[in-house]
């Protein structure tokens, strides 16, 4: 096995190990949260019935909705870190982004339902059934449990760089906030201030809607390929310019793919270097970017021989002929002076909307005097011809 094959295999194994670690952590924290949600949902509904607290029963249903959401998170994370395939050559991270949008919308929907119910109770409710103290205890337990699971889930989501897990953590926080509303409502009802429940619920609903909007909006921007901030783009451009052989950087475009960033960039190099040297410079740029910025996953570079950053217009247009047509034209105009073989070593340089030519002559026997001047004169009618250089061995 070659060294390249070993390195490729090591990189592939590392990628698979990272994906496996991500799934294990994401599934573990989500399963823990789901179990807690189910237990809390059963306790809230049971003690809500016993203690005559309709708010606690509603909060129990909210906990069961969290458990259903946890199942959704497990399903999405299973696919979001799969290796790229033929149908998804850039990977499956957008499944996570789509799931984050869904969770954000769910938070907004929950907030809207809480606000509507609270406002209607403020308007229409004339009396309130007084709940008993067990409902207050269960609400307090729910607040503590959901806050702990929020902190744990948010920590894991940040650690594995998963917006979906972080979104699910905030969903857990909404359950804690709704339990606070229930606790205040029960305490207020037991103290003779039943309206506190509905008023506090409206405030919390606004907070929940704000969190849901922020999560959804950030993920929507990713789905429509919104670029990274301009200051970060400028930083990347200056970093690339520090690479030896780079003369200029333009058309630097970026987009998010889950927690990672994909870049497209045009690299201007000296026009006289070979294709392979230009490609090697591009590979060095890619390596430096990935080593410096761990969140950059892929770089696609385009090597330019001249500055084509002219409001989206290239300095050299597509109207210029390609090699076969160039050789046919030169054969015709230079037929009396020099015989051009298709196998001749001819280099074409497309610069400033012209074609500069380097012609390598293997033998200088029987060449007419002042050949360069003669060839230039014979080719005056060719409007696309730029500089002409002859290379031939001397005795």
For residues 85 and 50, membership in a common domain is answered with yes
Residue 83 domain flag: yes
Average pLDDT on 264-293 reads 91
> In the 8-state DSSP scheme, what is residue 85?
-
The residue among 335 and 362 whose pLDDT is bigger is: 335
- Report how far residue 104's alpha carbon sits from residue 167's, in angstroms, rounded to the nearest whole number: 7
For residues 217 and 81, membership in a common domain is answered with yes
Q: What angle do CA 162, 168, 172 make, to 5 degrees?
A: 145
Share above pLDDT 70 across residues of the chain, in percent, rounded to a whole number: 76
Mean pLDDT is lowest, of 180-184, 273-277, 282-286, 305-309, for 305-309
Which 3 state secondary structure label does DSSP give 156? helix
- Report how far residue 233's alpha carbon sits from residue 255's, in angstroms, rounded to the nearest whole number: 11
CATH of the domain at 126: 1.20.1510.10
Residue 34 domain flag: yes
Distances (CA, A) of 328 to 201, 318, 358, 359, 367: 81, 18, 16, 14, 21
Mean pLDDT is lowest, of 22-36, 232-246, 319-333, for 22-36
Residue 171 domain flag: yes
Q: Which pLDDT score is estimated for 22?
A: 63
Average pLDDT on 186-209 reads 71
For residues 276 and 241, membership in a common domain is answered with yes
For residues 159 and 49, membership in a common domain is answered with yes
Residue 191 domain flag: yes
For residues 333 and 383, membership in a common domain is answered with yes
Nearest Cα to 198, choosing from 209, 190, 188, 208? Answer: 188
Q: Which helix or strand (DSSP H or E) is residue 245 part of?
A: none
For residues 93 and 203, membership in a common domain is answered with yes
Tell me, rounded to whole angstroms, the distance of Cα 20 from its chain centroid: 20
Number of helices followed by number of strands (H, E) in the chain:
10, 6
- Report how far residue 367's alpha carbon sits from residue 44's, in angstroms, rounded to the nearest whole number: 101
Count the domains in the chain: 3
Cβ–Cβ < 8 Å for 388, 372? yes
Q: How confident is the model at residue 56 (pLDDT cuts 50, 70, 90)?
A: confident
Residue 3 domain flag: no
**Domain extent at residue 335:** 323-391
Nearby residues of 196 by Cβ (< 8 Å), 6 or more positions away: 184, 185, 187, 188, 189
The residue among 351 and 54 whose pLDDT is bigger is: 351
Task: Tell me the per-residue pLDDT of 223-247, one tens digit each, with 9 for 90 and over.
Answer: 777 778 889 889 999 999 999 999 9
Q: Which of 166, 198, 223 is the last residue of a domain?
A: 223
Whether residue 269 is predicted with pLDDT greater than 70 in this model: the reply is yes
- Report how far residue 156's alpha carbon sits from residue 168's, in angstroms, rounded to the nearest whole number: 11
CATH of the domain at 296: 3.30.70.1350
């Amino acid at each position: 096995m070659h060294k390249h094959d070993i390195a490729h295999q090591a990189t592939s194994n590392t990628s698979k190990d990272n994906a496996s670690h991500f799934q294990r952590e994401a599934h573990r924290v989500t399963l823990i949260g789901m179990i807690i949600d189910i237990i809390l949902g059963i306790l809230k509904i049971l003690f809500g019935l016993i203690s005559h607290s309709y708010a606690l029963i509603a909060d129990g249903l909210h906990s069961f909705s969290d458990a259903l959401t946890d199942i959704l998170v497990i399903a999405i994370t299973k696919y979001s870190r799969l290796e790229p395939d033929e149908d998804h050559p850039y990977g499956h991270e957008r499944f996570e982004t789509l799931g984050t949008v869904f969770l954000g919308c769910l938070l907004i929907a929950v907030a809207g339902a809480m606000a509507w119910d609270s406002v209607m109770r403020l308007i229409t409710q004339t009396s309130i059934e007084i709940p008993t103290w067990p409902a207050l205890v269960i609400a307090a337990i729910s607040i503590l449990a959901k806050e702990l699971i929020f902190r744990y889930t948010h920590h894991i989501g940040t650690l594995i760089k998963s917006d979906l897990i972080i979104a699910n953590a905030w969903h857990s926080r909404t359950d804690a906030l709704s339990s606070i509303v229930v606790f205040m409502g029960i305490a207020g009802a037991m103290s003779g201030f039943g309206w506190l429940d509905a008023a506090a619920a409206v405030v919390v609903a606004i907070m929940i809607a704000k969190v849901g909007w922020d999560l959804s909006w950030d993920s929507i921007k990713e789905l429509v390929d919104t670029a990274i901030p301009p200051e970060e783009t400028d930083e990347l451009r200056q970093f690339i310019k520090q690479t030896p052989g780079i003369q200029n950087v333009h058309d630097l475009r970026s987009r998010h793919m889950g927690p990672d960033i994909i870049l497209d960039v045009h690299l201007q190099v000296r026009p006289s270097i070979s294709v392979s040297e230009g490609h090697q410079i591009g590979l060095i740029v890619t390596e430096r970017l990935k080593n410096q910025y761990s969140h950059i996953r892929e770089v696609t570079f385009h090597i330019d021989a001249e500055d084509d950053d002219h409001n989206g217009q290239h300095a050299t247009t597509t109207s210029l002929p390609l090699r076969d047509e160039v050789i046919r034209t030169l054969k015709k105009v230079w037929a009396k002076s020099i015989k051009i073989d298709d196998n001749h070593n001819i280099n074409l340089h497309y610069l400033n909307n012209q074609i500069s030519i380097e012609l390598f002559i293997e033998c200088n026997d029987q060449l007419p005097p002042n050949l360069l001047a003669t060839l230039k004169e014979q080719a005056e009618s060719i409007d696309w011809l730029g500089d002409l250089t002859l290379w031939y061995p001397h005795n």
